[in-house]
A and B are shown apart, each in its own frame.
Chain A
Amino acid sequence: MHWEMVMGLEVHLQLATHSKIFSSSSTQFGAEVNTHTNPLDMALPGTLPVLNHEAVTLAIVFGLGIGAEIGKISRFDRKNYFYPDLPKGYQISQFFEPIVKEGIFDVPLEDGSTFSVRILRAHLEEDAGKSVHDAIPAHTGIDLNRAGTPLLEVVTEPDFRTAEQVIAYLKALHALVTYLGISDGNMSEGSMRCDVNISLRPKGESAYGTRTELKNINSFRFIERAIHVESQRQQDLLEAGQTVTQETRLFDPDRDETRAMRSKEVANDYRYFPDPDLLPIVIDDATIEDIRASLPELPMAKRLRYTEALGLSNYDANLLTQDRATAEFFEVVAKTSENPKSAANWVLGDVSAALNKEGISMSDAALSAIDLATLIVRIDDNTLSSKMAKDVFDALWQGETDVDSIIDRKGLKQVSDSGALEVIIDALISENAAQVEQYRVADEGKQKKLIGFFVGQAMKASKGQANPQLLNQLLKEKLG
Protein backbone atom coordinates (compact mmCIF):
# COMPACT_ATOMS: atom_id res chain seq x y z
CA MET A 1 0.00 0.00 0.00
CA HIS A 2 1.10 3.59 -0.63
CA TRP A 3 0.93 5.85 2.38
CA GLU A 4 0.54 9.60 2.48
CA MET A 5 1.94 11.67 5.32
CA VAL A 6 -0.23 14.43 6.73
CA MET A 7 1.38 17.01 8.97
CA GLY A 8 0.42 20.21 10.73
CA LEU A 9 2.85 22.40 12.63
CA GLU A 10 2.82 24.39 15.82
CA VAL A 11 5.75 26.74 16.05
CA HIS A 12 6.54 28.67 19.21
CA LEU A 13 8.38 31.90 18.44
CA GLN A 14 10.00 33.81 21.24
CA LEU A 15 9.18 37.45 20.59
CA ALA A 16 12.06 39.90 20.70
CA THR A 17 10.71 42.13 23.46
CA HIS A 18 13.01 43.65 26.05
CA SER A 19 10.92 42.61 29.02
CA LYS A 20 8.57 39.73 29.73
CA ILE A 21 4.99 39.67 28.50
CA PHE A 22 3.42 40.39 31.89
CA SER A 23 6.29 41.66 34.03
CA SER A 24 9.18 44.08 33.79
CA SER A 25 11.87 41.38 34.11
CA SER A 26 14.44 41.14 31.34
CA THR A 27 14.11 38.48 28.65
CA GLN A 28 17.82 38.25 27.94
CA PHE A 29 19.06 34.71 27.36
CA GLY A 30 21.81 33.09 29.38
CA ALA A 31 21.62 34.99 32.68
CA GLU A 32 22.45 33.32 35.97
CA VAL A 33 19.52 31.22 37.20
CA ASN A 34 16.60 33.04 38.81
CA THR A 35 18.09 36.50 38.36
CA HIS A 36 15.57 37.67 35.76
CA THR A 37 12.68 37.16 38.11
CA ASN A 38 10.46 39.38 40.23
CA PRO A 39 7.51 38.62 42.55
CA LEU A 40 5.18 38.19 39.59
CA ASP A 41 7.47 35.71 37.80
CA MET A 42 7.56 33.68 40.99
CA ALA A 43 3.76 33.91 41.30
CA LEU A 44 3.89 35.40 44.77
CA PRO A 45 0.40 35.96 46.22
CA GLY A 46 -1.26 39.20 45.17
CA THR A 47 0.84 39.86 42.09
CA LEU A 48 -1.01 40.76 38.89
CA PRO A 49 -0.01 40.55 35.23
CA VAL A 50 0.31 43.77 33.22
CA LEU A 51 0.45 43.31 29.47
CA ASN A 52 3.61 44.40 27.65
CA HIS A 53 2.23 46.16 24.56
CA GLU A 54 5.47 45.60 22.68
CA ALA A 55 4.47 41.92 22.45
CA VAL A 56 1.09 42.88 21.02
CA THR A 57 2.72 45.07 18.37
CA LEU A 58 5.08 42.25 17.36
CA ALA A 59 2.15 39.84 17.07
CA ILE A 60 0.32 42.30 14.82
CA VAL A 61 3.47 42.73 12.72
CA PHE A 62 3.55 38.96 12.27
CA GLY A 63 -0.15 38.82 11.37
CA LEU A 64 0.27 41.52 8.74
CA GLY A 65 3.42 39.79 7.48
CA ILE A 66 1.43 36.67 6.61
CA GLY A 67 -1.56 38.67 5.39
CA ALA A 68 -3.75 37.31 8.18
CA GLU A 69 -6.76 38.91 9.75
CA ILE A 70 -5.95 40.68 13.03
CA GLY A 71 -8.39 40.04 15.87
CA LYS A 72 -9.83 43.45 16.69
CA ILE A 73 -10.69 42.11 20.12
CA SER A 74 -8.62 39.30 21.51
CA ARG A 75 -8.43 37.94 25.03
CA PHE A 76 -6.22 36.08 27.40
CA ASP A 77 -7.27 32.82 28.96
CA ARG A 78 -5.85 30.64 31.67
CA LYS A 79 -4.63 27.17 30.76
CA ASN A 80 -4.60 25.21 33.99
CA TYR A 81 -2.11 22.48 34.83
CA PHE A 82 0.36 21.73 37.56
CA TYR A 83 4.04 21.59 36.81
CA PRO A 84 6.99 22.88 38.87
CA ASP A 85 8.21 25.16 36.08
CA LEU A 86 4.78 26.80 35.83
CA PRO A 87 4.67 29.02 38.92
CA LYS A 88 1.03 30.11 38.85
CA GLY A 89 -0.32 26.64 38.13
CA TYR A 90 -1.76 28.07 34.94
CA GLN A 91 -0.30 29.50 31.77
CA ILE A 92 -1.72 32.72 30.39
CA SER A 93 -2.50 32.04 26.74
CA GLN A 94 -5.12 32.92 24.14
CA PHE A 95 -7.50 30.05 23.62
CA PHE A 96 -10.88 31.47 22.69
CA GLU A 97 -9.94 34.62 20.77
CA PRO A 98 -6.38 34.75 19.36
CA ILE A 99 -4.78 37.98 18.19
CA VAL A 100 -3.92 36.61 14.73
CA LYS A 101 -6.62 34.77 12.85
CA GLU A 102 -6.56 32.86 9.56
CA GLY A 103 -3.99 33.67 6.91
CA ILE A 104 -2.15 32.14 3.97
CA PHE A 105 1.61 31.93 3.99
CA ASP A 106 3.28 31.39 0.61
CA VAL A 107 6.42 29.34 1.00
CA PRO A 108 8.95 29.50 -1.86
CA LEU A 109 10.31 26.20 -3.13
CA GLU A 110 13.68 25.87 -4.84
CA ASP A 111 12.19 25.47 -8.31
CA GLY A 112 10.67 28.93 -8.05
CA SER A 113 7.16 27.70 -7.38
CA THR A 114 5.38 28.44 -4.12
CA PHE A 115 3.59 26.21 -1.66
CA SER A 116 0.69 27.76 0.24
CA VAL A 117 0.27 26.92 3.91
CA ARG A 118 -2.97 27.82 5.63
CA ILE A 119 -2.24 29.45 8.99
CA LEU A 120 -5.07 28.62 11.38
CA ARG A 121 -4.14 31.12 14.07
CA ALA A 122 -1.29 32.67 15.99
CA HIS A 123 -1.70 33.54 19.63
CA LEU A 124 0.25 35.21 22.41
CA GLU A 125 1.22 33.30 25.50
CA GLU A 126 3.83 33.19 28.22
CA ASP A 127 6.70 30.72 28.32
CA ALA A 128 7.26 28.45 31.31
CA GLY A 129 10.45 28.23 33.34
CA LYS A 130 12.90 25.36 33.15
CA SER A 131 13.66 22.39 35.35
CA VAL A 132 17.37 22.12 36.13
CA HIS A 133 18.41 18.55 36.81
CA ASP A 134 22.14 18.85 37.33
CA ALA A 135 22.55 21.81 39.71
CA ILE A 136 21.61 20.28 43.05
CA PRO A 137 22.48 16.62 43.75
CA ALA A 138 19.40 14.37 44.01
CA HIS A 139 17.08 17.33 43.51
CA THR A 140 15.50 19.12 40.61
CA GLY A 141 15.95 22.87 40.60
CA ILE A 142 13.67 25.41 38.93
CA ASP A 143 14.98 28.33 36.90
CA LEU A 144 12.31 30.96 36.32
CA ASN A 145 14.36 33.29 34.09
CA ARG A 146 12.42 32.14 31.05
CA ALA A 147 9.04 32.09 32.79
CA GLY A 148 6.93 34.82 31.26
CA THR A 149 8.94 35.31 28.09
CA PRO A 150 6.46 36.22 25.35
CA LEU A 151 5.73 33.53 22.79
CA LEU A 152 3.74 33.63 19.61
CA GLU A 153 2.39 30.17 18.81
CA VAL A 154 1.78 29.81 15.09
CA VAL A 155 -0.59 26.96 14.22
CA THR A 156 -1.07 25.66 10.67
CA GLU A 157 -3.73 23.52 9.09
CA PRO A 158 -2.58 19.95 8.29
CA ASP A 159 -1.28 21.04 4.90
CA PHE A 160 2.12 19.34 4.77
CA ARG A 161 2.70 16.11 2.85
CA THR A 162 6.50 15.90 2.78
CA ALA A 163 9.37 16.69 5.11
CA GLU A 164 10.75 19.00 2.39
CA GLN A 165 7.59 21.11 2.59
CA VAL A 166 7.93 21.28 6.37
CA ILE A 167 11.53 22.42 6.18
CA ALA A 168 10.75 24.93 3.42
CA TYR A 169 7.95 26.35 5.59
CA LEU A 170 10.14 26.59 8.66
CA LYS A 171 12.93 28.28 6.71
CA ALA A 172 10.50 30.76 5.20
CA LEU A 173 8.94 31.38 8.60
CA HIS A 174 12.37 31.88 10.09
CA ALA A 175 13.25 34.31 7.29
CA LEU A 176 9.98 36.18 7.78
CA VAL A 177 10.27 36.64 11.53
CA THR A 178 13.91 37.65 11.45
CA TYR A 179 13.10 40.08 8.62
CA LEU A 180 10.31 41.56 10.60
CA GLY A 181 12.57 41.71 13.61
CA ILE A 182 9.92 40.08 15.80
CA SER A 183 12.11 37.17 16.88
CA ASP A 184 15.80 36.39 16.72
CA GLY A 185 14.81 32.92 15.48
CA ASN A 186 17.73 31.39 17.35
CA MET A 187 16.80 27.73 17.41
CA SER A 188 19.60 26.59 19.69
CA GLU A 189 18.49 29.08 22.35
CA GLY A 190 14.89 27.99 21.95
CA SER A 191 13.65 31.13 20.22
CA MET A 192 11.96 28.97 17.62
CA ARG A 193 10.56 25.60 18.71
CA CYS A 194 8.59 23.29 16.55
CA ASP A 195 5.94 20.65 17.29
CA VAL A 196 4.94 18.40 14.39
CA ASN A 197 1.58 16.66 14.31
CA ILE A 198 1.98 13.70 12.03
CA SER A 199 -0.27 10.92 10.76
CA LEU A 200 -0.42 8.53 7.83
CA ARG A 201 -3.30 7.57 5.60
CA PRO A 202 -3.59 5.36 2.53
CA LYS A 203 -2.97 7.47 -0.55
CA GLY A 204 -6.27 8.66 -1.96
CA GLU A 205 -8.06 8.46 1.38
CA SER A 206 -9.56 11.73 2.63
CA ALA A 207 -10.02 10.91 6.34
CA TYR A 208 -7.03 11.56 8.57
CA GLY A 209 -5.27 8.79 10.46
CA THR A 210 -4.47 8.93 14.18
CA ARG A 211 -1.72 11.45 14.78
CA THR A 212 1.18 11.71 17.13
CA GLU A 213 2.79 14.95 18.19
CA LEU A 214 6.54 15.34 17.99
CA LYS A 215 7.50 17.97 20.50
CA ASN A 216 10.16 20.66 20.74
CA ILE A 217 12.57 19.70 18.03
CA ASN A 218 15.11 22.44 17.70
CA SER A 219 17.03 22.07 14.44
CA PHE A 220 15.97 21.72 10.81
CA ARG A 221 18.09 18.60 10.45
CA PHE A 222 16.49 16.90 13.45
CA ILE A 223 13.00 17.85 12.32
CA GLU A 224 13.59 16.25 8.95
CA ARG A 225 15.01 13.14 10.60
CA ALA A 226 12.27 12.95 13.25
CA ILE A 227 9.58 13.10 10.57
CA HIS A 228 11.27 10.32 8.66
CA VAL A 229 11.71 8.11 11.72
CA GLU A 230 8.20 8.68 13.06
CA SER A 231 6.45 8.15 9.71
CA GLN A 232 8.40 4.92 9.28
CA ARG A 233 7.36 3.80 12.77
CA GLN A 234 3.71 4.55 12.03
CA GLN A 235 3.94 2.79 8.66
CA ASP A 236 5.41 -0.31 10.26
CA LEU A 237 2.62 -0.35 12.85
CA LEU A 238 -0.10 0.11 10.25
CA GLU A 239 1.32 -2.48 7.90
CA ALA A 240 1.50 -4.95 10.76
CA GLY A 241 -2.22 -4.37 11.33
CA GLN A 242 -1.66 -2.43 14.53
CA THR A 243 -2.92 1.04 15.41
CA VAL A 244 -1.18 4.30 16.14
CA THR A 245 -1.79 5.70 19.63
CA GLN A 246 -2.52 9.41 19.89
CA GLU A 247 0.29 10.69 22.10
CA THR A 248 3.14 13.10 22.44
CA ARG A 249 6.50 11.72 21.41
CA LEU A 250 10.04 12.93 21.75
CA PHE A 251 12.72 12.51 19.09
CA ASP A 252 15.99 11.16 20.43
CA PRO A 253 18.67 12.06 17.89
CA ASP A 254 21.30 9.86 19.56
CA ARG A 255 19.23 6.70 19.27
CA ASP A 256 17.52 7.89 16.09
CA GLU A 257 14.07 7.03 17.42
CA THR A 258 10.95 8.65 18.78
CA ARG A 259 9.45 7.58 22.07
CA ALA A 260 6.25 8.31 23.96
CA MET A 261 6.42 11.23 26.38
CA ARG A 262 3.08 11.26 28.16
CA SER A 263 0.80 8.38 27.36
CA LYS A 264 -2.12 10.00 29.21
CA GLU A 265 -1.93 13.10 27.02
CA VAL A 266 -5.52 12.71 25.83
CA ALA A 267 -6.77 12.80 29.41
CA ASN A 268 -5.51 16.35 30.04
CA ASP A 269 -8.27 18.87 30.66
CA TYR A 270 -6.75 22.34 30.77
CA ARG A 271 -9.97 23.99 31.98
CA TYR A 272 -9.45 27.10 29.86
CA PHE A 273 -11.36 30.18 30.97
CA PRO A 274 -10.96 33.93 30.40
CA ASP A 275 -8.30 35.46 32.66
CA PRO A 276 -10.11 38.01 34.85
CA ASP A 277 -6.84 39.82 35.62
CA LEU A 278 -6.40 41.12 32.08
CA LEU A 279 -8.58 43.32 29.93
CA PRO A 280 -9.34 42.34 26.34
CA ILE A 281 -6.81 43.62 23.79
CA VAL A 282 -8.71 46.04 21.60
CA ILE A 283 -6.97 47.04 18.37
CA ASP A 284 -8.35 49.76 16.14
CA ASP A 285 -7.86 50.13 12.39
CA ALA A 286 -5.58 53.15 12.79
CA THR A 287 -3.14 51.12 14.89
CA ILE A 288 -3.13 48.33 12.33
CA GLU A 289 -2.51 50.80 9.49
CA ASP A 290 0.30 52.50 11.41
CA ILE A 291 1.98 49.15 11.94
CA ARG A 292 1.40 48.13 8.33
CA ALA A 293 3.05 51.34 7.12
CA SER A 294 6.11 50.60 9.23
CA LEU A 295 6.63 47.07 7.87
CA PRO A 296 9.78 46.42 5.86
CA GLU A 297 9.57 44.86 2.38
CA LEU A 298 8.72 41.20 2.96
CA PRO A 299 10.79 38.31 1.61
CA MET A 300 8.16 37.31 -0.94
CA ALA A 301 8.04 40.82 -2.41
CA LYS A 302 11.80 41.00 -2.43
CA ARG A 303 12.09 37.68 -4.30
CA LEU A 304 9.70 38.91 -6.92
CA ARG A 305 11.62 42.15 -7.33
CA TYR A 306 14.98 40.33 -7.55
CA THR A 307 13.77 38.05 -10.32
CA GLU A 308 11.71 40.56 -12.28
CA ALA A 309 13.52 43.87 -11.85
CA LEU A 310 17.07 42.67 -11.21
CA GLY A 311 16.99 39.62 -13.49
CA LEU A 312 18.21 37.11 -10.91
CA SER A 313 17.33 33.42 -11.00
CA ASN A 314 14.66 32.07 -8.64
CA TYR A 315 17.34 30.05 -6.95
CA ASP A 316 19.55 33.04 -6.23
CA ALA A 317 16.60 35.23 -5.21
CA ASN A 318 15.54 32.55 -2.76
CA LEU A 319 18.94 32.24 -1.17
CA LEU A 320 19.47 35.98 -0.94
CA THR A 321 16.19 36.54 0.89
CA GLN A 322 16.59 33.86 3.54
CA ASP A 323 17.71 36.40 6.04
CA ARG A 324 17.28 40.11 6.20
CA ALA A 325 20.92 40.98 6.79
CA THR A 326 21.98 39.10 3.63
CA ALA A 327 19.25 40.70 1.53
CA GLU A 328 20.06 44.18 2.78
CA PHE A 329 23.79 43.64 2.20
CA PHE A 330 23.10 42.37 -1.29
CA GLU A 331 20.89 45.33 -2.10
CA VAL A 332 23.54 47.87 -1.17
CA VAL A 333 26.14 46.01 -3.25
CA ALA A 334 23.78 45.65 -6.21
CA LYS A 335 22.72 49.27 -6.16
CA THR A 336 26.18 50.76 -5.66
CA SER A 337 27.88 48.53 -8.22
CA GLU A 338 24.97 48.76 -10.66
CA ASN A 339 25.61 45.09 -11.37
CA PRO A 340 23.01 42.97 -9.50
CA LYS A 341 24.07 39.68 -11.08
CA SER A 342 27.68 40.11 -10.12
CA ALA A 343 26.57 41.31 -6.66
CA ALA A 344 24.50 38.13 -6.26
CA ASN A 345 27.41 35.96 -7.37
CA TRP A 346 29.77 37.56 -4.88
CA VAL A 347 27.32 37.44 -1.97
CA LEU A 348 26.31 33.84 -2.61
CA GLY A 349 29.82 32.81 -3.63
CA ASP A 350 32.88 34.22 -1.91
CA VAL A 351 31.06 36.08 0.87
CA SER A 352 28.92 33.09 1.77
CA ALA A 353 31.92 30.75 1.66
CA ALA A 354 33.91 33.05 3.93
CA LEU A 355 31.00 33.29 6.37
CA ASN A 356 30.61 29.53 6.45
CA LYS A 357 34.29 29.06 6.99
CA GLU A 358 34.17 31.28 10.06
CA GLY A 359 30.81 29.98 11.16
CA ILE A 360 29.27 33.44 11.45
CA SER A 361 26.23 35.04 9.91
CA MET A 362 25.94 38.04 7.64
CA SER A 363 24.95 40.36 10.44
CA ASP A 364 28.19 39.55 12.27
CA ALA A 365 30.49 40.16 9.27
CA ALA A 366 32.73 43.23 9.23
CA LEU A 367 32.83 43.40 5.44
CA SER A 368 31.43 46.65 4.05
CA ALA A 369 28.90 46.41 1.23
CA ILE A 370 30.31 49.60 -0.30
CA ASP A 371 33.80 48.03 -0.50
CA LEU A 372 32.41 44.94 -2.19
CA ALA A 373 30.49 47.13 -4.61
CA THR A 374 33.67 49.10 -5.42
CA LEU A 375 35.43 45.80 -6.04
CA ILE A 376 32.77 44.86 -8.58
CA VAL A 377 33.03 48.28 -10.24
CA ARG A 378 36.81 47.76 -10.56
CA ILE A 379 36.22 44.41 -12.25
CA ASP A 380 33.68 45.90 -14.57
CA ASP A 381 35.95 48.80 -15.56
CA ASN A 382 38.74 46.31 -16.26
CA THR A 383 40.98 47.56 -13.46
CA LEU A 384 40.95 44.12 -11.89
CA SER A 385 41.02 40.66 -13.34
CA SER A 386 38.89 38.13 -11.54
CA LYS A 387 42.00 36.60 -10.01
CA MET A 388 43.14 40.00 -8.71
CA ALA A 389 39.64 40.60 -7.41
CA LYS A 390 39.94 37.51 -5.23
CA ASP A 391 43.14 38.93 -3.73
CA VAL A 392 41.42 42.24 -3.01
CA PHE A 393 38.43 40.41 -1.54
CA ASP A 394 40.73 38.44 0.79
CA ALA A 395 42.27 41.69 1.95
CA LEU A 396 38.82 43.18 2.57
CA TRP A 397 37.78 40.10 4.49
CA GLN A 398 40.91 40.38 6.63
CA GLY A 399 39.65 43.78 7.68
CA GLU A 400 41.28 46.15 5.23
CA THR A 401 39.11 48.83 3.70
CA ASP A 402 39.10 51.05 0.62
CA VAL A 403 39.44 48.93 -2.51
CA ASP A 404 41.40 51.50 -4.53
CA SER A 405 44.12 51.89 -1.95
CA ILE A 406 44.42 48.08 -1.67
CA ILE A 407 44.84 47.95 -5.45
CA ASP A 408 47.49 50.65 -5.31
CA ARG A 409 49.34 49.17 -2.41
CA LYS A 410 49.40 45.67 -3.88
CA GLY A 411 50.21 47.05 -7.31
CA LEU A 412 47.38 45.01 -8.69
CA LYS A 413 46.33 47.31 -11.48
CA GLN A 414 45.49 45.34 -14.62
CA VAL A 415 47.31 46.44 -17.78
CA SER A 416 44.70 47.25 -20.38
CA ASP A 417 46.85 49.59 -22.40
CA SER A 418 47.27 47.83 -25.81
CA GLY A 419 50.52 49.72 -26.54
CA ALA A 420 52.17 48.32 -23.43
CA LEU A 421 50.85 44.83 -24.12
CA GLU A 422 52.02 44.96 -27.76
CA VAL A 423 55.57 45.60 -26.56
CA ILE A 424 55.41 42.44 -24.46
CA ILE A 425 53.82 40.41 -27.24
CA ASP A 426 56.35 41.56 -29.84
CA ALA A 427 59.16 40.53 -27.55
CA LEU A 428 57.55 37.12 -26.97
CA ILE A 429 57.09 36.53 -30.68
CA SER A 430 60.70 37.23 -31.40
CA GLU A 431 61.90 35.07 -28.50
CA ASN A 432 59.70 32.10 -29.39
CA ALA A 433 59.99 31.78 -33.13
CA ALA A 434 59.52 28.02 -33.06
CA GLN A 435 56.17 28.23 -31.31
CA VAL A 436 55.09 31.02 -33.62
CA GLU A 437 55.88 28.76 -36.56
CA GLN A 438 53.95 25.86 -35.02
CA TYR A 439 50.96 28.12 -34.41
CA ARG A 440 50.78 29.20 -37.98
CA VAL A 441 50.47 25.64 -39.33
CA ALA A 442 48.42 24.12 -36.48
CA ASP A 443 44.76 23.20 -36.49
CA GLU A 444 42.23 25.04 -34.32
CA GLY A 445 42.65 22.80 -31.30
CA LYS A 446 46.41 23.04 -31.32
CA GLN A 447 46.22 26.78 -31.81
CA LYS A 448 44.17 27.14 -28.64
CA LYS A 449 46.84 25.39 -26.66
CA LEU A 450 49.56 27.56 -28.14
CA ILE A 451 47.58 30.73 -27.38
CA GLY A 452 47.43 29.48 -23.81
CA PHE A 453 51.23 29.21 -23.81
CA PHE A 454 51.64 32.78 -25.06
CA VAL A 455 49.06 34.14 -22.59
CA GLY A 456 50.90 32.45 -19.78
CA GLN A 457 54.23 33.91 -20.87
CA ALA A 458 52.72 37.37 -21.35
CA MET A 459 51.11 37.23 -17.91
CA LYS A 460 54.44 36.27 -16.42
CA ALA A 461 56.12 39.17 -18.22
CA SER A 462 53.40 41.59 -17.03
CA LYS A 463 53.59 40.24 -13.47
CA GLY A 464 50.04 39.02 -13.80
CA GLN A 465 48.62 42.40 -14.53
CA ALA A 466 47.76 42.05 -18.19
CA ASN A 467 44.10 42.20 -19.04
CA PRO A 468 43.51 38.61 -20.23
CA GLN A 469 40.77 39.44 -22.75
CA LEU A 470 42.83 42.15 -24.39
CA LEU A 471 45.88 39.94 -24.35
CA ASN A 472 44.00 37.16 -26.12
CA GLN A 473 42.70 39.48 -28.74
CA LEU A 474 46.10 41.09 -29.46
CA LEU A 475 47.86 37.72 -29.62
CA LYS A 476 45.39 36.38 -32.13
CA GLU A 477 45.93 39.43 -34.32
CA LYS A 478 49.71 39.29 -34.11
CA LEU A 479 50.03 35.53 -34.59
CA GLY A 480 47.24 35.33 -37.16
Chain B
Amino acid sequence: MTDAVFQVGQRVRIADRTPRVHHRVPSYAKGRVGVIERVCGLHGEPEKFIRGNGEPKQRIYRVRIPQSELWQDYEGTERDKLEIEIFEHWLEETE
Protein backbone atom coordinates (compact mmCIF):
# COMPACT_ATOMS: atom_id res chain seq x y z
CA MET B 1 0.00 0.00 0.00
CA THR B 2 1.40 3.39 -0.94
CA ASP B 3 1.77 5.94 1.82
CA ALA B 4 -0.76 8.72 2.19
CA VAL B 5 0.45 12.02 0.71
CA PHE B 6 -1.74 14.11 3.04
CA GLN B 7 -2.12 13.79 6.81
CA VAL B 8 -4.97 14.48 9.22
CA GLY B 9 -5.20 18.19 9.99
CA GLN B 10 -3.39 19.31 6.82
CA ARG B 11 -4.95 22.15 4.79
CA VAL B 12 -5.75 21.18 1.21
CA ARG B 13 -7.39 22.73 -1.81
CA ILE B 14 -9.76 20.67 -3.95
CA ALA B 15 -8.80 21.05 -7.62
CA ASP B 16 -11.08 23.18 -9.78
CA ARG B 17 -11.33 21.24 -13.02
CA THR B 18 -14.01 19.49 -14.99
CA PRO B 19 -12.81 16.41 -16.87
CA ARG B 20 -15.13 15.30 -19.65
CA VAL B 21 -15.59 11.91 -18.02
CA HIS B 22 -17.56 10.82 -14.96
CA HIS B 23 -15.89 12.12 -11.79
CA ARG B 24 -16.96 12.21 -8.17
CA VAL B 25 -16.35 15.84 -7.16
CA PRO B 26 -19.47 18.01 -6.99
CA SER B 27 -19.06 21.51 -8.46
CA TYR B 28 -19.79 23.23 -5.14
CA ALA B 29 -16.59 21.73 -3.68
CA LYS B 30 -14.23 22.53 -6.57
CA GLY B 31 -11.55 25.08 -5.70
CA ARG B 32 -12.50 25.05 -1.99
CA VAL B 33 -10.07 24.78 0.90
CA GLY B 34 -10.55 22.40 3.81
CA VAL B 35 -8.70 20.26 6.32
CA ILE B 36 -8.07 16.50 6.11
CA GLU B 37 -10.51 14.91 8.59
CA ARG B 38 -9.37 11.32 8.03
CA VAL B 39 -7.25 9.26 5.70
CA CYS B 40 -9.20 6.43 4.08
CA GLY B 41 -8.30 3.48 1.86
CA LEU B 42 -7.38 2.96 -1.80
CA HIS B 43 -10.18 2.74 -4.34
CA GLY B 44 -10.57 2.63 -8.13
CA GLU B 45 -10.25 6.01 -9.79
CA PRO B 46 -13.69 7.01 -11.13
CA GLU B 47 -12.29 8.79 -14.22
CA LYS B 48 -10.55 5.58 -15.30
CA PHE B 49 -13.58 3.30 -15.24
CA ILE B 50 -14.70 4.58 -18.64
CA ARG B 51 -11.81 2.49 -20.08
CA GLY B 52 -10.61 -0.29 -17.84
CA ASN B 53 -10.91 -0.99 -14.16
CA GLY B 54 -9.93 2.20 -12.34
CA GLU B 55 -6.33 1.10 -11.77
CA PRO B 56 -4.05 2.26 -10.31
CA LYS B 57 -6.17 2.83 -7.23
CA GLN B 58 -6.18 6.22 -5.56
CA ARG B 59 -6.42 7.07 -1.88
CA ILE B 60 -9.58 8.72 -0.55
CA TYR B 61 -9.50 11.42 2.12
CA ARG B 62 -12.37 12.98 4.04
CA VAL B 63 -12.05 16.76 3.79
CA ARG B 64 -13.77 19.05 6.31
CA ILE B 65 -14.85 22.45 5.00
CA PRO B 66 -16.53 25.23 7.03
CA GLN B 67 -20.03 25.81 5.64
CA SER B 68 -19.44 29.57 5.65
CA GLU B 69 -16.57 29.01 3.16
CA LEU B 70 -18.87 27.14 0.80
CA TRP B 71 -21.89 29.41 0.76
CA GLN B 72 -21.73 33.21 0.97
CA ASP B 73 -25.24 33.49 2.38
CA TYR B 74 -24.96 30.47 4.71
CA GLU B 75 -27.53 30.59 7.49
CA GLY B 76 -26.04 28.79 10.45
CA THR B 77 -23.06 29.11 12.75
CA GLU B 78 -19.36 29.54 11.98
CA ARG B 79 -18.81 26.08 13.44
CA ASP B 80 -21.07 24.22 10.99
CA LYS B 81 -19.07 21.94 8.70
CA LEU B 82 -19.42 19.90 5.57
CA GLU B 83 -17.35 16.74 5.14
CA ILE B 84 -16.74 15.18 1.77
CA GLU B 85 -14.75 12.29 0.27
CA ILE B 86 -12.09 13.38 -2.21
CA PHE B 87 -9.59 11.24 -4.14
CA GLU B 88 -5.90 12.08 -3.69
CA HIS B 89 -5.33 13.26 -7.26
CA TRP B 90 -7.92 16.00 -6.70
CA LEU B 91 -6.10 17.50 -3.71
CA GLU B 92 -3.34 20.13 -3.61
CA GLU B 93 -1.34 21.31 -0.65
CA THR B 94 -2.15 24.86 0.44
CA GLU B 95 -1.19 27.37 3.12
Interaction A to B: no
Interface residues of B, Cβ cutoff 8 Å to A: none
Interface residues of A, Cβ cutoff 8 Å to B: none
